Chains A and B, each alone.
Chain A
Amino acid sequence: NAGVTQTPKFQVLKTGQSMTLQCAQDMNHEYMSWYRQDPGMGLRLIHYSVGAGITDQGEVPNGYNVSRSTTEDFPLRLLSAAPSQTSVYFCASNRGNNEQFFGPGTRLTVL
């Protein structure tokens, strides 16, 4: 099993550009989440999903969209990037017992 994979590893955007961070898992987990990590703030939940077709907002959802068309994939979309979205983004999956499996992260810089 590859576990949770994320692409790209690094990305630089200009303000106003859009992009999609990809996340996939091969463990057949129903639950998937996106977090952002900023210095001194730990990880904060952006969006999460409890199954295909079902998503909900987390603590810091503004500026991000998600969809969950399959169990395996949970992409995160930035519609119009802002410097405040410079961060490290982690995708995670779990089988419903809250034991999260994290991907390696995507480091995003918005200029």
Chain B
Amino acid sequence: AQSVTQPDIHITVSEGASLELRCNYSYGATPYLFWYVQSPGQGLQLLLKYFSGDTLVQGIKGFEAEFKRSQSSFNLRKPSVHWSDAAEYFCAVGDQGGKLSFGQGTELSVKP
């Protein structure tokens, strides 16, 4: 069975500082991996995805993620955080049947 772990429930960073959100997955084959962002009271917006190929993927809003098969990780990074990045972030792994398993989420707070 597939599963995702996001070890950090809540992270606080200063505006302008770099950010890394951790994600570890469990999946038997090559995974489809995603990062979503959710602002309070809103739906989920896709930040980026990895299906195959280059292990460093670029997404929207200046985010990137790196797939590391040896570590079963897909960490999300941003070099300089903006106050508008404060939100909840979800990592997800999918199978070929169209089903996603989500992590518990990491809430990001940004200090001015």
Contact B97 A50 (CB under 8 A): yes
Q: Which residue of B lies closest to A6 (CB)?
A: B43
Q: Give CA–CA (A94, B44) in the complex, Å.
A: 14
- What is the total of A-B residue contacts with beta carbons within 8 Å? 63
Taking a contact as CB atoms under 8 Å apart, the answer to whether A97 and B105 are in contact is no
CB-based closest 3 A-B pairs:
A98-B94, A42-B102, A31-B98
A99 contacts B49, C-beta separation under 8 Å: yes
Chain A nearest CB from B87 CB (Å) reads: 14
Q: Which residues of A contact B92 (CB under 8 A)?
A: 43
Is B100 within 8 A of A100, CB to CB?
Answer: yes
Contact across chains for B90 and A96 when beta carbons are under 8 A apart: no
| Given the contacts A42-B103, A42-B104, A98 and B98 also touching, CB distance less than 8 Å | yes
